[in-house]
Structure 1
Amino acid sequence: MAGKVRNLVNRSGRYHARLVVPKDLRRFVGKTELRTPLGGDYRQALKLLPGAVAQLQHQIALAEQQANPNQPPNTPARYPLVPDQIAHSHYHQRVAFDDELRNDPRYAAVGIDDLLVDRLRSAIAGNANDAELSELVGAQLERFRAAGNLDATPGSTEWREIARALCHAELEALARSAERDEGDYSGTPTASIIVNAQPPENAPTPVSIKQLWKDYVAHRQQAGFMRSGTGRQQPVIDKLVKYMKHSDATRVTKKDLIAWRDHLMGDLSAKTVSDVYLSTVRSLFSWAVENEFLADNPAANVRQAKPKKQHTRERGYIEAEANKVLKASRSYKPNEDERGYVREKSHLVAAKRWAPIICAFTGARVSEITQLRKEDVRKIDGQWVIRITPDAGSVKTGGYRDAPLHPQIIDEGFIDFVEAANSGPMFHGGIKKEDYSPKAKRIANQVAAWLSISGLTPEGLLPNHAWRHRLKTQCRELGISDRVVDAIQGHAGKTAGDDYGDVTLKTKIDAINKLPSYDLS
């Protein structure tokens, strides 16, 4: 609740400093939370709170060091405080320590070092170099760092600002000590950085990144998206959580994501980092903001530049290349081991035989073919067609479409293959619907790998996607409307006008039948 002092709780009229132990550190601390009693007086409890919390945070920091002994020194602060909050905390710790010393019979007043006062004033005015600041408050800085309150690099502008704030606190604490030596305990700080400092409000309620992702996926699927699952995006979330070493979305900053992006660039291409990793996280956090799970989207402006792809040849197969692939596909025989056994699964063998020629005449995505079920091949008004549908797996546009089969596919015996197949998927062994898409994509990738390894696909071509480019080129040469080809291939219209009117099955059949057969002799 806004305005409530963080880490201060009241239990049965007694105040306590309280700090929840992060889940990943509880086995090192041995508790789910840490508490320190502060007494029954609210004002006194507020005075003691900063020092008590600092001690609890230090215990957490020690546990974190134990859990991550190789943690780099520039790890983001777990309990970040701004300079005025650090000054406020340190001042009250110093005053509380002064009380403790005066209650100790061994305490003896030693007076105030005027030279120290002058040095602190000079530092506050900005006239001290980094070495002088370290000598004055370096130990205090490192104590706050160990407690997880700051991660500023020594010598940086942020570090100097915090150091000067601590000099303010030291000078004010010395003033109180001098007043108390004269019996005056009524003094209060006068430095605005301490007077105007607001104790941190309650930390935001943690928002689990993993749970946020589950809710986001459920929402998208309910709206008709992500029907094929999250196979490509799930590793993004897993890697983000692993890199952050926590799963709290409220603690993720733009700085964190920039560092993560740079880390990913060590192993992944700029395109993958941009189009898969950053895009996924940006969409997730944007949805979280829209639905009031988060206050802002730290990924909104985190980008990765991508080099423009250079094409050194046609993006589709030329006729000679297409003939070569289809001949190899037609005559494909799986290898046998020394005992005469075929280790390649029959589904993959069938995919290598039929996927290339179906892609050649439909321009479909290869995974749309490898996910075909027996019931997706049907005869309508005397014409054999395949139905590409989300019921069988992944369809990029989200809806079904019918693609006529060219006469050469029929002549090659595809219908005989279909009729001999068992019901369900013909090119993969998936049984459950949720397995269809990942299994179909795996088979599609294996077909592409076979084409590449066998030298059937020239360098610079995407083995499976090249059929889509080739069909588009052929149809343009034959004067077939791009709108008709888009309907066959499953491309979205480029303008609002493209969505008016229907491309009928007859129109598609007429277009497909204009395509010449391949020379497979």
Structure 2
Amino acid sequence: MAGKIRHLINRSGRYHARLVVPKDLRGIVGKTELRSALGADYRQALKLLPGAVAQLQHQIALAEREASQGRQKPAQARYPLAPDQIALSHYNQRLVFDDLLRNDSRYANTGIDDLYVYQLRQAVAGRCSDDELQSVIGDQLERFRAAGNISAAQGSDEWRVIARALCSAELEALARVAERDEGDYTGTPTAPIIKDAAQAEKAPAPVSLTGLWTDYLNSRMQAGFMRDKGQRQRPVIDNLRKFLRHNDAARVTKKDVLAWRDHLVKTLSPKTVNDIYLSALKSVIAWAVENDRLPENVAATVRQPKPRKVYGRERGYTDDEAKKVLKASRTYQSTPDEFGRVRESTQMANVKRWVPIICAFTGARVSEIIQLRKEDVTKVGEHWVARITPDAGTVKSGGYRDVPLHAQIVAEGFVKFIEHADEGPLFHNATKPEKFRGAAVIVSNKLSDWLRKGGLVPDGIQPNHAWRHRLKTQCRELGISDRVADAIQGHAGRTAADHYGDVTIKTKADAIARLPDYNIKM
């Protein structure tokens, strides 16, 4: 994929030389970048580019000198160029300058100094002393030094190599000048240091960050994942793009990711930053690397340390706490406002009535239960079964699972509720599948708020997630294997052996039937 010429940009059909101002010098320069107009013609812009960049680099170098006053000068050039690159740059700038001067007829009638040509040839041959080299080409050397392209000390071998390279470039430029004096503009350089010089460096082709995300999402959805169309991860990519203030994934560095992480942790919990934001970015870039879109995963080793949680009690409901919640759920009725109107939706009232008891006997994630549709609850043989499926929203494990309903749920009238319910979602009012997950999250949060405000949940307990911890504890107390409990709750297997054989509906129904009824009748 072809790259762009370094430092050359096109804005509204016109070309500019562009140089980013280093962060430590922006206070002095007063800008984040410098530009120089090169016109609308691409070929002319390429001719003018080296000189324009040199001028911009000179401005940066002056700012660097100002910043370093009273301190030791930096040992390395800020914008180092190899000798052949310096020679090529000088050659191109010399010819551009020649073009400009020919607008004045007096210049065109001026001959070339033969003594100067002789001195240049002596220098190229290596016959000149350091002082003679400085006299012949010293002004040009200092020009490149001021632009931050060289740092070699006068008299050093590196300095002499650069000086001789510049003398070769000057000789080649004078040869073109002589040809132009005769009206011949077809000449090309013959000196190897000019002819074989490294061409203008090409920057990596930009890679759209949002484009990467779209392609990654499509590939995951084709594989059967992310049925919610990446609603949870999309804000991550948008947040990164806004933080970077550009959309080029090829420009993202590890330093950028670290700075983004430190910015996020100011407003988000370490767990959210690490497990959602950094995790999503790593996945997208890893996919890009695997598909030859990016050379490396700059986020691979970036992590956000998370403080170890300290629990002051068990994480699931106790028997008394579970009964308290289920009693409040069983007797719940919507309360009219001061005008006698019931503002709560019927679906929200149904959530408070049925979701807690279903979670109590299935240990399912509350969002999975809230996503249930009428068609997901059916009778299989002698068992009523709730199918938790990605077709109804998001399922963390990715696939469907059938969970038999405990006899107490049926006895409470849930089956009758299903029979009289309208088609579609039972506990939220979204009509489009892509909005099911978002709706389930909203309803789930409302359920948690109701439980907390009602004083039904003690401190240190997650109102909805506590049912998952409780069911796992109950299964262990009853001798139900973790393999069966995992199949009921939708937990991934721990070993390869867990993926062999099926945990049938009968096996799950037998296990659930062993769970004792809750004494919740008033």
Same topology, TM > 0.5: yes
Q: Deviations over 1:242-289 (max 9, x none)?
A: 111111111111121111111111111111111111111111111111
Letter in 1 for 2:406: H
Map residues 301-450 of structure 1 onto 2, 5 A cutoff.
301-450=301-450
Label 1:20 to 1:236 Cα distance change in 2 as closer, same or farther (>3 A): farther
**% identical equivalent positions:** 51
| 3-state SS in 1 of match to 2:356 | helix
Match of 1:69 in 2: none
Match of 2:232 in 1: 232
Match of 2:469 in 1: 469
Q: Deviations over 1:190-234 (max 9, x none)?
A: 9x9x99984443332222111111111110010111113312101
Whole-angstrom distance in 2 between the partners of 1:32 and 1:439:
54
Shift of 1:349: 1.5
Letter in 2 for 1:38: Q
Larger radius of gyration: 2
Label 1:201 to 1:136 Cα distance change in 2 as closer, same or farther (>3 A): closer
Label 1:266 to 1:6 Cα distance change in 2 as closer, same or farther (>3 A): closer
Whole-angstrom distance in 1 between the partners of 2:39 and 2:470:
64
Match of 2:247 in 1: 247
Shift of 1:449: 2.3
Shift of 1:380: 1.9
Match of 2:507 in 1: 507
| 3-state SS in 2 of match to 1:238 | helix
Q: Which of 144, 148, 151 pairs up with 1:164?
A: 151
Label 1:177 to 1:439 Cα distance change in 2 as closer, same or farther (>3 A): closer
Whole-angstrom distance in 2 between the partners of 1:418 and 1:361:
18
Whole-angstrom distance in 2 between the partners of 1:488 and 1:449:
26
Whole-angstrom distance in 2 between the partners of 1:374 and 1:179:
85
CA contact (8 A) 1:6 1:199 kept: no
Match of 1:262 in 2: 262
Label 1:183 to 1:517 Cα distance change in 2 as closer, same or farther (>3 A): closer
Label 1:476 to 1:250 Cα distance change in 2 as closer, same or farther (>3 A): same
Shift of 1:466: 0.8
Does the alignment pair 1:38 with 2:35? Answer: no
CA contact (8 A) 2:373 2:423 kept: yes
Label 1:274 to 1:383 Cα distance change in 2 as closer, same or farther (>3 A): same
CA contact (8 A) 1:137 1:166 kept: no
Match of 2:211 in 1: 211
Q: More deviation in 406-415 or 93-102?
A: 93-102
Q: Which of 77, 84, 87 pairs up with 2:81?
A: 84
Match of 1:96 in 2: 93
CA contact (8 A) 2:54 2:147 kept: no
Whole-angstrom distance in 2 between the partners of 1:321 and 1:374:
30
Whole-angstrom distance in 1 between the partners of 2:436 and 2:172:
82
CA contact (8 A) 2:87 2:169 kept: no
Q: More deviation in 424-433 or 437-446?
A: 437-446
Letter in 2 for 1:400: Y
Match of 1:72 in 2: none
Label 1:87 to 1:427 Cα distance change in 2 as closer, same or farther (>3 A): farther
Shift of 1:513: 1.3
CA contact (8 A) 1:17 1:52 kept: no
Whole-angstrom distance in 2 between the partners of 1:3 and 1:341:
66
Match of 1:274 in 2: 274
Label 1:384 to 1:3 Cα distance change in 2 as closer, same or farther (>3 A): closer
Shift of 1:181: 12
Letter in 2 for 1:339: F
Shift of 1:454: 2.6
Label 1:195 to 1:297 Cα distance change in 2 as closer, same or farther (>3 A): farther
Q: Deviations over 1:135-164 (max 9, x none)?
A: 9999746xxxxxxxxxxxxxxxxxxxx673
Shift of 1:368: 0.7
Where does the alignment leave 5 or more consecutive residues of structure 2 unmatched? Answer: 19-34, 61-77, 111-130, 177-188
| 3-state SS in 1 of match to 2:384 | strand
Where does the alignment leave 5 or more consecutive residues of structure 1 unmatched? Answer: 10-15, 22-28, 40-44, 62-80, 108-113, 125-134, 142-161
Map residues 192-207 of structure 1 onto 2, 5 A cutoff.
198-207=198-207
Label 1:170 to 1:348 Cα distance change in 2 as closer, same or farther (>3 A): farther
Q: More deviation in 425-434 or 293-302?
A: 293-302
TM-score by length of 2: 0.71
Label 1:86 to 1:459 Cα distance change in 2 as closer, same or farther (>3 A): farther
CA contact (8 A) 1:95 1:173 kept: no
| 3-state SS in 2 of match to 1:38 | helix
CA contact (8 A) 1:404 1:509 kept: yes
| 3-state SS in 2 of match to 1:164 | coil
Name the Cα RMSD after superposition. 4.6
CA contact (8 A) 1:8 1:17 kept: no
Whole-angstrom distance in 2 between the partners of 1:260 and 1:363:
37
